[in-house]
């Protein structure tokens, strides 16, 4: 936590203070001039007190492959991908943008919500942009998976878009049993990667459990005292660890991926996908389900949510409610291994299995003891998690009856119910988690497990603004013990502790937990604002406009 805070302070401190400094930093990082309009973008950012102005490496990484294409070829590919199912268009003409659903063939106010959200994000500066079309992914999942051979040997593959791509002669929106996301994904890997070896890519997860590399998101590295998760920041390699794909639902999505280098704007992606990241419309807009402080009656955004409670009144339990989303059914039968299902299974474990809990004794000291505690007792002490809605249960092994028997279900709750708890855990669903910004904005601490990169990935700091959790979730018991001290079941199971029952809370740990909650809230108020999203998209539009142009040198800012 100390290292995280210092790292973030340095990041803020090194941001450019003048336009000249920002231009110099851009040239230093990317070895080219900034895009035309960079000076107006800088003024827009300064007028809105934007704190982070140089950290756009992720954006440049997303766009870099398209520099290999000419402006004509780039525009042609935009036109082609726009004709595909579940791709909508935001069309900018004469300084005014409209959302267009080309599947219907006309301008439609009911076009994709993500396209509508992007259109709203550019309203403040659309009059400063040239005519362009923006292909917007209508789905939460990443869509662009370009085979390795296509990227490195374009002359040997169908990458000339001047003629129709054979792959799209009968393109359908879903797989229909003709493939899967995983089969498409593993072709993006280097031929020597384990994922390209057929046996490695299909063997069950249990075969490899005891021999996986220590940097796997399903593993944790252990020190003499505590267990921590490696922070991968969405850059975990499934190419190197193909067995891990069974645990991530986006590899079983029903929506067909696109095997061509097309510019498609999506809210998130995992390593290997070629989508261009934009802020989620859920983050930008205001809704009762996804926005902290939203007053749906008066249609205003409040700084403090009506349901918020003082820190001292919040429970010590880790809280989560949500639907059984997490992946598709291509192929069927893998839903029990998706991220949310695995967590609910762990959190409702009634077996005799034990967890080893490490905690300070006495609280706040540097002396640690451990106890082996029955998992079901820990779950009862620490967790309040449940599914609220069963979706796609027809494809779950055993159907709805088996799903209900396997997991805890409870009634849906308003978003404000979350604020009653100090710990809020956040998981990936079909794609990224749309609730993350709302959770950050609250006065609770967020535990987050994800394999995705988002537009803000360069701007946020794990262990400062939120607590990162591995995809196995197994360390959450020790995370809780570190911040809140040992639970009653942990103390009861320990034979070598001097900690009386009324001293189980760690005052120092609680202070640190509240510090993370406050840091996350401060980040949302200062760096995760709507206008920060607009600044991101504004700069993205300038970069995109240069790629769109036939004469890219004329689109430089000098």
Q: Would you say 457 and 349 are in contact if contact means Cβ atoms under 8 Å apart?
A: no
Class of the 296-529 domain?
Answer: alpha beta
**Cα gap 248→236, rounded to integer Å:** 12
Q: Which residue has the higher pLDDT, 98 or 222?
A: 98
Residue 403 Cα distances to 258, 348, 350, 393, 429, angstroms: 32, 13, 16, 7, 17
Q: Would you say 432 and 371 are in contact if contact means Cβ atoms under 8 Å apart?
A: no
> pTM score, two decimals?
0.92
Lowest mean pLDDT among 85-94, 105-114, 500-509: 500-509
Averaged confidence pLDDT in the chain: 89
Cis check for the bond before 163: say yes or no (omega within 30 of 0): no
> CB-based burial of residue 165 (10 Å sphere; 0-12 exposed, 13-18 middle, 19+ buried)?
middle
Q: How open is the CA angle 277-303-453, to the nearest 5 degrees?
A: 15
Residue 266 Cα distances to 216, 360, 455, angstroms: 26, 44, 10
Which tokens belong to 278?
């934009």
Average pLDDT estimate for 307-313: 97
Share of the chain above pLDDT 90, in %: 75
**Across 344-353, 476-485, 498-507, which has the greatest mean pLDDT?**
476-485
- List the one residue out of 246, 265, 272 whose CA is nearest residue 140: 265
- List the one residue out of 107, 103, 97, 185 whose CA is nearest residue 141: 185
**Cα gap 382→265, rounded to integer Å:** 39
Average pLDDT estimate for 486-502: 74
In 14-170, which residue ranges form alpha helices assigned H by DSSP?
A: 19-30, 38-47, 57-63, 71-82, 113-121, 148-152
Average pLDDT estimate for 115-144: 96
- Give the dihedral sign, CA 49/289/141/411: positive
Lowest mean pLDDT among 40-54, 220-234, 479-493: 220-234
Q: pLDDT at position 236, please?
A: 85
pLDDT at 232 over 80: no
| Span 506-548, pLDDT tens digits | 688 999 999 999 999 999 999 999 999 999 999 999 999 999 9
Residue 271 Cα distances to 235, 283, 400, 410, 510, angstroms: 5, 22, 33, 34, 35
Q: Strand 421-427 and strand 315-323: pairing?
A: parallel
Average pLDDT estimate for 390-408: 91
How would DSSP label each residue in 537-551?
HHHHHHHHHHHH-S-
| Span 57-97, pLDDT tens digits | 999 999 999 999 999 999 999 999 998 988 999 999 999 99
Q: pLDDT at position 235, please?
A: 78
DSSP annotation of 284: H
pLDDT at 156 over 80: no
- List own/partner pairs for 98-104 with CB under 8 A and 24 or more apart: 99/136
- Give the dihedral sign, CA 547/551/553/558: negative
How would DSSP label each residue in 382-413?
HEEEEEEE--SGGGSTTHHHHHHHHS-B----
Q: Which residue has the tokens 């994709």?
A: 112
**Cα gap 338→408, rounded to integer Å:** 16
**Structural domain boundaries in the chain:** 2-53, 65-211+245-281+533-551, 296-529
| Span 344-382, pLDDT tens digits | 999 988 888 999 999 888 887 888 888 999 999 999 999
- Region class of 179: left (phi > 0), else alpha (psi between -120 and 50), else beta: left
Average pLDDT estimate for 244-258: 93
Q: Which residue has the tokens 């003082």?
A: 310
Q: Would you say 446 and 319 are in contact if contact means Cβ atoms under 8 Å apart?
A: no
| Span 417-455, pLDDT tens digits | 999 999 999 999 889 999 999 999 999 999 999 999 999
- List the one residue out of 194, 455, 439, 216 whose CA is nearest residue 320: 439
Lowest mean pLDDT among 13-22, 160-169, 379-388, 437-446: 160-169
pLDDT at 44 over 50: yes
Query: What values do phi and psi take at 134, rounded to 5?
Result: -115, 110
Q: pLDDT at position 201, please?
A: 59
Q: Would you say 412 and 390 are in contact if contact means Cβ atoms under 8 Å apart?
A: no
């Amino acid at each position: 936590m100390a290292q995280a805070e210092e790292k973030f302070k340095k990041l803020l401190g090194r941001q450019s203070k003048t336009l000249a400094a920002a231009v110099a930093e851009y040239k230093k990082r990317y070895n080219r001039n900034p895009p035309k309009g960079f000076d107006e973008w800088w003024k827009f950012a300064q007028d809105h007190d934007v704190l982070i102005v140089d950290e756009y490496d992720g954006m440049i990484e997303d766009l870099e492959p398209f520099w290999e294409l000419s402006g004509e070829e780039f525009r042609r590919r935009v036109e082609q991908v726009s004709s595909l199912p579940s791709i909508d268009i935001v069309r900018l003409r004469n300084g005014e943008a409209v959302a267009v659903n080309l599947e219907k063939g006309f301008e439609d106010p009911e076009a994709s919500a993500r396209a509508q959200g992007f259109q709203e994000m550019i309203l403040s500066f659309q009059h400063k942009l040239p005519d362009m079309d923006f292909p917007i992914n209508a789905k939460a999942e990443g869509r662009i998976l370009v085979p390795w051979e296509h990227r490195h040997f374009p002359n040997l593959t169908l990458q000339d878009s001047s003629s129709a791509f054979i792959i799209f002669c009968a393109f359908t929106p879903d797989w229909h049993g003709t493939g899967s996301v995983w089969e498409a994904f593993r072709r993006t890997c280097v031929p020597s990667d384990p994922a390209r070896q057929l046996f490695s890519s299909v063997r069950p997860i249990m075969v490899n459990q005891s021999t996986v590399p220590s940097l796997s998101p399903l593993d944790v590295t252990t020190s003499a005292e505590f267990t921590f998760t490696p922070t991968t920041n969405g850059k975990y390699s499934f190419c190197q660890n193909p067995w891990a794909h069974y645990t991530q639902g986006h590899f079983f999505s029903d929506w067909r991926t696109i095997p061509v280098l097309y510019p498609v704007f999506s809210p998130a992606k995992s390593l290997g996908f070629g989508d261009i990241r934009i802020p989620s419309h859920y983050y930008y807009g205001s809704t009762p389900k996804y926005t902290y402080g939203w007053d749906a009656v008066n249609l205003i955004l409040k700084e403090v949510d009506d349901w918020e409670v003082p820190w001292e009144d919040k429970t010590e339990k880790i809280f989560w409610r949500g639907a059984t989303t997490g992946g598709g059914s291509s192929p069927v039968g893998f839903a029990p291994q998706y991220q949310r299902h695995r967590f609910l299974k762990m959190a409702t474990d009634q077996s005799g299995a034990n967890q080893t809990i490490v905690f300070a004794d006495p609280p706040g000291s540097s002396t640690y003891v451990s106890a082996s505690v029955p998992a079901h007792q820990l779950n009862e002490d620490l967790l309040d998690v449940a599914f609220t809605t069963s979706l796609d249960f027809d494809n779950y092994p055993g159907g709805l009856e088996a799903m209900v028997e396997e997991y805890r279900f409870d009634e849906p709750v308003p978003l404000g119910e979350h604020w009653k708890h100090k710990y809020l855990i956040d998981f990936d669903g079909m794609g990224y988690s749309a609730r993350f910004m709302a959770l950050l904005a609250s006065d609770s601490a967020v535990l987050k497990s994800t394999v995705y990169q988002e537009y803000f990935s360069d701007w946020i700091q794990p262990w400062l603004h939120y607590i990162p959790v591995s995809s196995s979730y197994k360390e959450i018991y020790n995370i809780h013990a570190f911040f809140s001290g040992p639970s009653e079941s942990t103390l009861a199971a320990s034979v070598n502790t001097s900690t009386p029952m009324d001293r189980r809370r760690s005052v120092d740990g609680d202070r640190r937990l509240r510090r993370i909650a406050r840091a996350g809230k401060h980040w949302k108020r200062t760096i995760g604002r709507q206008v920060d999203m607009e600044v991101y998209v504004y700069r993205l539009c300038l970069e995109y406009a240069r790629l769109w142009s036939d004469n890219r040198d004329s689109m430089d800012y000098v």
